[in-house]
Amino acid sequence: MLLKQNTFIFSVIKSVLLTVKKKRNMRIIYILSFFLIMGFRLSAQEKNMIDPALKTPPEIMNQFMDMRFGMFIHWGPVTLRGTEIGWSRGHEVATEDYDNLYKEFNPVLFDASAWVKTAKNAGMKYLIITSKHHDGFCLWPSEYTDYDIMATPFKKDIVGALAKACKKEGIRFGIYFTILDWHDRNYPLHNDGKGISEDGNMEKFRSTIKNQLKELVTKYDPYLIWFDGGWEEPWTDEMGREIYTYLKSLKKDLIINNRLGKEMTGISNKNADYSKMVGDFDTPEQRIGNINMDFPWESCITMGTQWSWKPNDKLKSLKECLQTLVKTASGNGNLLFNIGPMPDGRIEQRQIDCLVQMGAWLKKYGESIYGTRGGPYLPNEAYSSTRKGNKVFVHLFETDKTEIILPALPGVNVQKATLMNGGEVGFKKTDDFYKISLPAVLPDSICNVLVLQINREAIEIPVIENTSIP
């Protein structure tokens, strides 16, 4: 691609010069071309671009977005205290205490295959493990630090075991990796309110994480790397682009999230410039992302109230969990649903129970989630929708209604209206609305799916911005 561009610039200069002064020396043409080409390259860099030829292609991103549902796992020695991973270091747990927890981290009941099967039974298609969180502890044996799983009494490679189990079960394997490390003295910030420290060395730090990333990619061949922590001051978008380019040289189709850089919608739903994102998809956090039919996104949301395990934590109800998944898919996004295993290595039974029930719902209604795209209705309290082929799937959140009114879809003929796992329903079109009559007893007690079969490709329907009913 670059070669083509260069040849083009060269030939333009050549023809300009040849017309202006026919007998000009070829050397001038070459010199001018050289500067112009360099100029073009510099301007691409100034425009903060990753070489477009390196970006993960849309086919790969579409396959990722087809999966819709993944498991996020935050885990480490901090679970022995039950406080939040990374953030509680030097706060709820004294730094000295936190940094020594690894000496007693011995999750003898850890069973990678059991975790992966739990994800699979939940209907999840991929899994992402915190290989290193902000506390700096590494769940894999790293040559570049002593603060890793081999220093614990457990001494078994957790990342490796999960990579293997995922491969066996056909679950895509992803790795979470933080680029801020409050434990590493070379990283100049330490979440202690003291600001940038003098003894930091970003050059050394960047070389360490580059080595660790190479280790992770070559050892575990991840499908995806989920970066975190790029928002802190010592990190720049340029550093992010360098890492992106480096990783793509190691593995061409690796999928990378946007927290390698600073541009993201994040927790607060900031206005973001998608063209500036360093990474392949956006990562709204603890909220369902806004509908976006163009740029891929994945919401990361916890089942409980914190990322790592908390004893007696308040968990979301099954209804909340299912609606979170459905509304995310309706906005055209993926849900990376987080659980935190316990210090002994098991996933808490009540978390498993909820996941099993989500999986049971997906076994019956998965056609309305996997491989679909969001819209055309925007999610609201009563319903939301997804679409695929000539079908619009309307998810109904109210189970006590016998009638539902939807804004009519523009330029569409509805040929048939049915309930998934139920029969045909009453359908009437009046002016700008559809009036749908439902049976008194609905097939599902939490979320039912109305299927509108239409006379055209559902993806062509523009998103209906106003779903309010008069």
Half-sphere CA count of 138, side-chain side, radius 13 A = 22
For residue 410, what are the CA distances in angstroms to 368, 437, 456, 461? 21, 21, 11, 7
Residue 188 or 375: the one with the smaller Cβ distance to ligand JFZ is 188
Number of residues that bind ligand JFZ (CB under 6 A): 9
Query: Within 10 Å of residue 433's Cβ, how many Cβ atoms?
Result: 14
CB of 174 to ligand JFZ, least distance (A): 13
CB of 15 to ligand JFZ, least distance (A): 52
- 372's tokens: 């679909």
**Binding to ligand JFZ, residues 239-278 (CB under 6 A):** 266-267
CB of 37 to ligand JFZ, least distance (A): 39
CB of 347 to ligand JFZ, least distance (A): 18
Counting contacts by CB under 6 A, is residue 307 touching ligand JFZ?
Answer: yes
CB of 231 to ligand JFZ, least distance (A): 5
Residue 28 or 267: the one with the smaller Cβ distance to ligand JFZ is 267
Cis before 376? omega within 30: yes
Cβ–Cβ < 8 Å for 454, 411 = no
Residue 265 or 372: the one with the smaller Cβ distance to ligand JFZ is 265
Residue 339 or 409: the one with the smaller Cβ distance to ligand JFZ is 339
Counting contacts by CB under 6 A, is residue 233 touching ligand JFZ?
Answer: no
Query: Within 10 Å of residue 400's Cβ, how many Cβ atoms?
Result: 6
Counting contacts by CB under 6 A, is residue 86 touching ligand JFZ?
Answer: yes
CB of 267 to ligand JFZ, least distance (A): 6
Closest among 430, 397, 370, 291 to 69, alpha carbons compared: 370
CB of 307 to ligand JFZ, least distance (A): 5
CB of 457 to ligand JFZ, least distance (A): 36
- 365's tokens: 């209604």
Residue 342 or 392: the one with the smaller Cβ distance to ligand JFZ is 342
Per-residue contact string for residues 277-306; x = within reach of ligand JFZ by CB under 6 A: --------x--------------x------
Q: Which of 99, 181, 184, 228 binds ligand JFZ (CB under 6 A)?
A: 228
Per-residue contact string for residues 315-354; x = within reach of ligand JFZ by CB under 6 A: ----------------------------------------
- 413's tokens: 């003929």
Closest among 264, 307, 257, 234 to 76, alpha carbons compared: 307
Residue 67 or 301: the one with the smaller Cβ distance to ligand JFZ is 301
Cβ–Cβ < 8 Å for 256, 224 = yes
Residue 107 or 230: the one with the smaller Cβ distance to ligand JFZ is 230
Cβ–Cβ < 8 Å for 216, 129 = no
Residue 30 or 231: the one with the smaller Cβ distance to ligand JFZ is 231
Cβ–Cβ < 8 Å for 133, 182 = no
Count of helices and strands (H, E) across the chain: 10, 15
Closest among 273, 302, 308, 270 to 289, alpha carbons compared: 270
**Binding to ligand JFZ, residues 51-80 (CB under 6 A):** none
Residue 89 or 346: the one with the smaller Cβ distance to ligand JFZ is 89
CA separation for the pair 356, 254 (Å, rounded): 30
Cβ–Cβ < 8 Å for 400, 331 = no
Cβ–Cβ < 8 Å for 263, 237 = yes
Residues facing residue 130 across a β-bridge = 176
CB of 138 to ligand JFZ, least distance (A): 15
**Binding to ligand JFZ, residues 148-167 (CB under 6 A):** none
DSSP string, 11-75: HHHHHHHHHH-TT--HHHHHHHHHHHHHHHHHHHHHTT---TTTSPPHHHHHHHHHH-EEEEE--
Residue 315 or 356: the one with the smaller Cβ distance to ligand JFZ is 315
CB of 21 to ligand JFZ, least distance (A): 58
Binding-site ranges for ligand JFZ (CB under 6 A) = 85-86, 228, 231, 266-267, 285, 300, 307
